[in-house]
A and B are shown apart, each in its own frame.
Chain A
Amino acid sequence: MNIFATAGAATGLVIGIIIAVIIFKFTNTNHRIKTEYDERQQVLRGRGYMYSFYTMVVYECVMLVLSIGRITLPAEDYVLHYLGIILGCGVLGVYSVWNDVYWGLNNNRRRYVIIIIVLAVINLLPVIRSFRAGEFLKDGKLSYGFVNLSCLIFLAIFPLTYLIKKMVGKETESED
């Protein structure tokens, strides 16, 4: 990756953060950027962050060992780093959904669901394009297309976890 590509990726990241801040401000009912959680949610989310942290540490250790052994995986470096982040975030998300602490007190769920659907569509388009053009693999390694695909999988695991939770009867129904 040359300096221009790095600068482009960094710019994209900054723009992404700015958009995320605007989205949070728009989607939270009290128009605050920070999502508010009650005491039980804070405790459980803290535990979720811990599991997420350990997952990323283990993942990076595995990558480190493979790197020391000069074992190359069929994926570009940035894809592997991205997978580590997605894996960590995925653990936090699944744990949060499973323990009913995914939604904050000031989240407008409908707006969030719309944003998730929009994000899914945004990621689906490059995946279809890559699939058609056969660009998932570049020189035998997973490339950009796979980043979007992993993002789609990441977005899909939240409703999937919710459905599984409902199927096994773990869903906290109102006992009124």
Chain B
Amino acid sequence: MKNLKLKSARAAMDLSQDDLAKICGVSRQTISAIEKGDYNPTIKLCLAICKALNKTLDELFWED
């Protein structure tokens, strides 16, 4: 399932996938795979993404 929350949060901060990937220390393709729902990140990476986007785990990764 696509993670549109992550995509919109990233866009809201005016960050490209590449920018977010560099902040989190992963490849751009990994961020793309998370947004497309092709990859389930570990809690460590989820936290890194949340910190980079100033969001909580619930806000980005909890399915409604």
| A-B complex is real | yes
Contact surface of A with B, Cβ cutoff 8 Å: 38-41, 100-101, 103, 105, 172-176
Residues of B within 8 A of A103 (CB): 27
User: In the bound complex, how far is the Cα of B19 from the Cα of A119, in angstroms?
Assistant: 33
Using A105-B25, A105-B27 as known contacts, say yes or no to A39 and B42 having CB atoms under 8 A apart.
yes
Convert B13-41 into 0s and 1s, putting 1 for each residue whose CB lies closer than 8 angstroms to a CB of A.
00011100000011111101101100101
List the A side residues contacting B17 at CB < 8 Å: 174-176
B26/A175 in contact, CB under 8 A: no
Q: Which residues of A contact B33 (CB under 8 A)?
A: 40, 100, 172
Q: Are the C-beta atoms of A38 and B32 separated by less than 8 Å?
A: no
List residues of B whose CB falls within 8 A of some A CB.
7, 16-18, 25-30, 32-33, 35-36, 39, 41-42, 44-45
Q: Is the CB of B18 within 8 A of A38?
A: no
Give the interface centre of A39, A40, A101, A103 by most chain B CB atoms within 10 Å: A40
Indicate if the CB atoms of B32 and A40 lie closer than 8 Å: no
Determine whether the beta carbon of A174 is less than 8 Å from that of B41.
no
The reply to whether A38 and B42 form a contact with Cβ atoms under 8 Å apart is: no
Bound complex: CA of A20 vs CA of B21, how far in Å? 29
Give which listed residue, A38, A173, A175, A176, contacts B27 with CB less than 8 A. A38
Let me know if B29 and A39 touch, CB within 8 A.
Answer: no
User: How many residue pairs between the two chains, A and B, have CB atoms under 8 Å in the bound complex?
Assistant: 47
CB distance from A172 to the nearest CB of B (A): 5
The interface residues of chain A, by DSSP majority, are classed as loop
Whole-angstrom CA separation of A101 from B42 in the bound complex: 17
Q: How far is the CB of A32 from chain B (nearest CB, A)?
A: 14
Contact B26 A172 (CB under 8 A): no
CB pair A100–B42 under 8 Å, yes or no, is: no
Nearest neighbor of A176 in chain B, beta-carbon distance: B16
Known: A40-B29, A175-B17, A175-B32. 16 other contacts (CB 8 A): A38-B30, A39-B26, A39-B42, A39-B44, A39-B45, A40-B39, A41-B27, A41-B30, A101-B27, A105-B26, A172-B28, A173-B32, A174-B32, A175-B36, A176-B17, A176-B18
A-B pairs with beta carbons under 8 Å apart, 22 shown: A38-B25, A38-B27, A38-B45, A39-B26, A39-B41, A39-B44, A39-B45, A40-B26, A40-B27, A40-B29, A40-B30, A40-B39, A100-B27, A101-B27, A101-B29, A103-B27, A105-B25, A105-B27, A172-B28, A172-B29, A175-B17, A176-B17
